[in-house]
């Protein structure tokens, strides 16, 4: 019953993703897809809040970085003076829990505001975290942060090898995606969309609008936290720059470029972002420009997509599909 | 199915339990006054509605009809006077406490969830007055509330539009959905705020049959400018003028009253 509505295109993409390590290079597996899945998950946590809850939060990257920091502090890292060396089955859940608590607290502050003020308050807390982490040496090890933060060697596998890391991130991304799709149709998810559309009526129907908004932050923070831990493992390090203001904004760009209305959007946005990040310096050098100008290219792409489709790449795709259906059957006006 | 069997047995017993404390009247207003600064939106309104009674409240714009509704639902606290719902003094109760006692209301301007389907809108209304509002588990195929929502969708004749996103509904369909939301849970008394406003003649007769087919134990007050709709669904009429009750009677008495004709029906211009 769960699978009957899955279109063939999705099966094809699923099989392609599963078979990827058979033909893709290590660089593509680790750097392109591993990074895409991670950024997609953090973008997905923003999509859940913005698309279903109508709350644009800029705290998701900070929640992710905090989870990464907690893994470094509670687990092992290249800074043994600070790291506590807890086993993986303890430090990973506790890291996710702390990040989720932090996200919930920020949510409790942010849900009292609307629209632009939610963006401002979450951006303010995100920059406060950045400066705090940079200046705090006792816990966050200041400017340098933590290096040598590695995933546990479970089942005798080195999870930082390209193929295992690819499957690890793919599994986490797929699980997060499935969780968001599932919860969107649960009473909690439906009520959250009700709160987005009409908070006053939701209150009149007997729902607590504030509680639903805050719990949405909790749910989104768990996804961001898992993404943050994977990100720290991928780079083997975490520093204040992991959650710098540019990185915080990048998550917003990823979610908006991909499309904020559906859970697949942030993954599409993340793939576009990663491809531009990785290949634009070469492209720019080839046309005689400095490779450091890649942000210009990303910004320009962002402008073009948002200008032509406020719903991101997904919105473009849906427009294209609607037009094709219309041309197929002009008598029935596009809906067969 | 008809509307007579939309209230499940469980809800009916809950209604009976609550009904045991009642003094016999569904709604009882005593000397209710609401001041906005120096302006009295309603003053000294005393009104009694029996259970199952259908009352039309008529009056020109600014007569205080919607303010009366806002006081009854708890959106405004009255400046003075008491409001009793099924015998219980609810004058100081917050809105959701009154909703839990079986009071419902529709809004003059539809307050719906545009990004959700018709079925989901009604499901949320059913979920709001029951447990499990925060559940992360999807409702199963035999979920009681899903079935109840489907019944309500059918009761307001929207089954064909069940999966349509509410933002894409016609205005008339949105008004019908508005009524379905008011019928969720175990309503015992409903306030309809101009349900016919903006409807086409066909939609109006649809609305009249939805309202006349409501289960007998559900009483309501309807504010309506369309006299034809109001007098066809109501068993009694209250006329308001300048925030005061001006006249009460059966639809026939009101129509034939010389003062009412003078004031409201256009001074006896018989066409």
Which segment of A154-168, B14-28, B99-113, B153-167 scores lowest on mean pLDDT?
Answer: B14-28
Residue B11 has pLDDT above 80, yes or no: no
Q: Give chain A positions within 8 Å (CB) of B132.
A: 187
Q: How far apart are CA B246 and CA B222, in angstroms?
A: 17
pLDDT value of residue A293: 74
Smallest Cβ distance to A198: which of B99, B111, B134?
B111
Percent share of chain B, pLDDT over 70 = 89
Query: Is there a contact between A46 and A60 (Cβ–Cβ < 8 Å)?
Result: yes
Contacts of A48 in chain B (CB under 8 A): none
pLDDT tens digits, B193-241: 888 888 888 888 888 988 888 888 889 999 988 888 888 899 999 988 8
The pLDDT confidence band at residue B107, using thresholds 50, 70 and 90, is confident
Residues 6+ apart with CB under 8 A from B204: B196, B226, B228, B229
- Average pLDDT of span B134-158: 84
Interface contacts A/B by beta carbons within 8 Å: 82
Would the CB atoms of B99 and A183 count as touching at under 8 Å?
A: no
How many Cβ atoms are within 10 Å of B174's Cβ, its own excluded? Answer: 19
**B165 part of contact set with chain A, CB < 8 Å:** no
Residues of A in contact with B178 (CB under 8 A): none
pLDDT of residue B12: 44
**How high is the mean pLDDT of chain B?**
82
pLDDT bracket for residue B2 (50, 70, 90): very low
What are the backbone angles phi and psi of residue A240, rounded to the nearest 5°?
-55, -35
pTM: 0.78
Name the token pair of A3: 């699978």
| Cβ partners under 8 Å of residue B237, min gap 6 | B55, B56, B57, B58, B230, B231, B247, B248, B249, B250, B251, B253, B254
- 8 Å CB contact between B54 and B210: no
Task: Give B266's pLDDT tier (boundaries 50, 70, 90).
Answer: low
Q: Which of the pair, B7 or A279, is modelled with greater confidence?
A: A279
DSSP A171: H
Residue B4: pLDDT band with limits 50, 70, 90: very low
Is the Cβ pair A212, B96 closer than 8 Å? no
Instruction: List CB contacts (< 8 A) between A198 and chain B.
Output: 111-114
Grade residue B20 by pLDDT with cuts at 50, 70 and 90: very low
The answer to whether the Cβ–Cβ distance between B134 and A196 falls below 8 Å is no
Tell me how far apart the alpha carbons of residues B167 and B222 are, in angstroms, rounded to a whole number: 26
Cβ–Cβ under 8 Å, residues A190 and B116: yes
Structural contact between residues B59 and B65, judged by C-beta atoms closer than 8 angstroms:
yes
Per-window interface: B 36-95 vs A, CB < 8 A: 95
C-alpha angle B130-B132-B138 in degrees, rounded to nearest 5: 120
**Res A51: pLDDT:** 92
CB–CB of A188 and B133 under 8 A? yes
CA A273 to chain centre: 12
Chain B residues close to A196, C-beta within 8 Å: 115
- Give A33 to chain B, closest Cα distance, Å: 30
Strand order in the sheet with B27-36: B39-49, B27-36, B80-85, B88-89
* A chain contacts of residue B128, beta-carbon cutoff 8 Å: 202, 205-207
Query: What percent of chain B is helix, strand and coil (3-state, nearest 5)?
Result: 40, 25, 40
Q: A50 with A56: CB under 8 angstroms?
A: yes
Interface test with A, best of B116, B124, B191 (most A CBs within 10 A): B124
In B, minimum Cα distance to A212 occurs at: B134
Residues 6+ apart with CB under 8 A from A300: none
pLDDT band at residue B13 using 50, 70 and 90 as cut-offs? very low
* pLDDT tens for the 336 residues of chain A, in order: 455 577 888 888 888 888 888 887 888 888 889 999 999 999 999 999 999 999 999 999 999 999 999 999 998 887 888 888 888 888 999 999 999 999 999 999 998 888 888 999 999 999 999 999 999 888 888 888 898 888 888 787 778 888 899 999 999 999 999 999 999 999 899 999 998 988 878 877 778 888 899 999 999 999 999 999 999 999 989 999 898 898 999 999 899 888 888 899 899 999 988 988 888 778 778 877 777 777 777 788 788 887 877 778 888 888 887 777 666 655 555 444
| A191 → closest Cβ in B96, B127, B181 | B127
Helix (H) and strand (E) counts for chain A? 14, 2
């Amino acid at each position: 019953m769960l699978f009957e509505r899955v279109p063939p295109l999705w099966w094809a993409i699923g099989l392609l993703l599963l078979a990827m390590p058979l033909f893709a290079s290590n660089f593509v597996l680790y750097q392109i897809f591993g990074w895409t899945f991670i950024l997609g998950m953090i973008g997905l946590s923003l999509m859940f809040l913005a698309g279903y809850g109508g709350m644009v939060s800029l705290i998701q990257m900070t929640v992710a970085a905090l989870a990464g920091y907690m893994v470094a502090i509670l687990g092992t890292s290249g800074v043994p003076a600070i790291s506590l060396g807890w086993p993986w089955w303890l430090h990973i859940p506790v890291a996710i829990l702390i990040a989720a608590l932090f996200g919930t607290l920020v949510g409790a502050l942010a849900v009292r505001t609307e629209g632009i003020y939610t963006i401002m308050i979450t951006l303010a807390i995100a920059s406060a975290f950045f400066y705090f982490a940079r200046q705090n040496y006792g816990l966050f090890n200041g400017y340098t942060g933590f290096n040598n933060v590695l995933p546990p060697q479970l089942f005798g596998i080195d999870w930082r090898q390209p193929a295992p890391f690819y499957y690890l991130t793919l599994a986490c991304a797929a699980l997060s995606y499935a969780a968001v799709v599932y919860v969107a149709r649960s009473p909690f998810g439906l009520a959250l969309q009700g709160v987005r559309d009409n908070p006053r009526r939701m209150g009149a129907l007997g729902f607590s609008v504030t509680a639903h908004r805050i719990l949405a932050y909790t749910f989104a923070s768990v996804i961001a936290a898992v993404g943050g831990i994977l990100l720290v493992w991928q780079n083997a390090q975490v520093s204040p720059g992991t959650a710098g203001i540019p990185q915080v904004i990048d998550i917003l760009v990823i979610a908006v470029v991909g499309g904020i209305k559906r859970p697949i959007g942030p993954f599409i946005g993340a793939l576009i972002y990663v491809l531009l990040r990785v290949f634009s310096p070469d492209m720019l050098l080839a046309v005689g420009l400095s490779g450091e100008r890649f942000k210009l290219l990303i910004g320009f792409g962002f402008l073009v997509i948002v200008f032509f489709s406020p719903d991101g790449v997904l919105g473009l795709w849906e427009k294209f599909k609607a037009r094709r259906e219309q041309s197929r059957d002009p008598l029935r006006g596009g809906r067969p | 199915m008809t509307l007579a069997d939309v209230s499940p047995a469980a809800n009916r017993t809950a209604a009976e339990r609550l009904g045991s404390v009642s003094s016999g009247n569904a709604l009882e207003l005593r000397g209710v006054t609401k001041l906005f600064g120096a302006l009295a939106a309603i003053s000294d309104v005393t009104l009694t509605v029996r259970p199952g009674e259908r009352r039309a409240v008529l009056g020109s714009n600014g007569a205080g009809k919607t303010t009366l509704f806002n006081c009854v639902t708890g959106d405004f606290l009255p400046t003075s006077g008491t409001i009793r719902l099924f015998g219980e003094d609810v004058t100081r109760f917050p809105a959701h406490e009154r909703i839990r006692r079986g009071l419902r209301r529709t809004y003059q301007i539809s307050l719906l969830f545009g990004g959700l389907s018709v079925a989901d809108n009604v499901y949320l209304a059913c979920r709001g007055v029951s447990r499990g509002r925060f559940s992360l588990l999807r409702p199963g195929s035999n979920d009681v509330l899903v079935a109840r929502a489907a019944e309500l969708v059918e009761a307001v004749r929207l089954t064909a539009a069940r999966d349509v996103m509410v933002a894409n509904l016609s205005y008339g369909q949105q008004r019908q959905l508005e009524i379905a939301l008011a019928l969720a849970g175990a309503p015992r008394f409903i306030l309809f705020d101009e349900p016919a406003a903006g409807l086409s003649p066909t939609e109006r007769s649809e609305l009249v049959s939805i309202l006349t087919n409501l289960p007998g134990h559900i009483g309501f007050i309807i504010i309506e400018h369309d006299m034809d709709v109001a007098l066809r669904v109501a068993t009694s009429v209250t006329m308001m003028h300048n925030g005061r009750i001006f006249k009460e009677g059966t639809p026939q008495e009101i129509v034939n009253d010389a003062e009412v004709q003078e004031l409201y029906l256009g001074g006896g211009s018989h066409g």
